[in-house]
Amino acid sequence: MTTVHTTIAVALSLVFLPLGLAKITAVPFMRQAAAHLGMSPGLYRVIGALEVAGAAGLLFGLASTPLGVAAAAGLAVLMVAAAVVHLRHGDPPVRALPAAVLALTAVAYAGAAIATG
């Protein structure tokens, strides 16, 4: 792992861990977000658990490249789905932009990790 890989893995984890925990604990902001998207709090908790698992996978991936790549791929798929849900719900594209950027960042991490072995 290079310094860049480590930095990206930690940065992504610092984004996904608190957001995932907020979804799991159903803080008011996340309950409102779930309702806005027509999702149940239970489904939002599942999404939060996936985000926390992905964050942990990125951090454990610092010791095991395949695990980090798998976690990044899973988070990328999750974020593409999030962007699609926002757009299908009628949100303006700017509401889907953070998810799209996170998806691209996760893909870049995975691609670089694969390329450097």
pTM of the model: 0.93
Predicted confidence (pLDDT) per residue in 48-99, tens digit: 999 999 999 999 999 999 999 999 999 999 999 999 999 999 999 999 999 9
From 3, 14, 23, 10, select the one nearest 68 (Cα to Cα).
Answer: 10
Q: How far is CA 89 from CA 35, 82, 92, 106, in A?
A: 12, 11, 9, 24
Q: Which two structure tokens, joined as six digits, stand for 68?
A: 């980090």
Torsions phi, psi of 69, nearest 5? -65, -45
From 13, 24, 3, select the one nearest 68 (Cα to Cα).
Answer: 13
Predicted confidence (pLDDT) per residue in 19-50, tens digit: 999 999 999 999 999 999 999 999 999 999 99
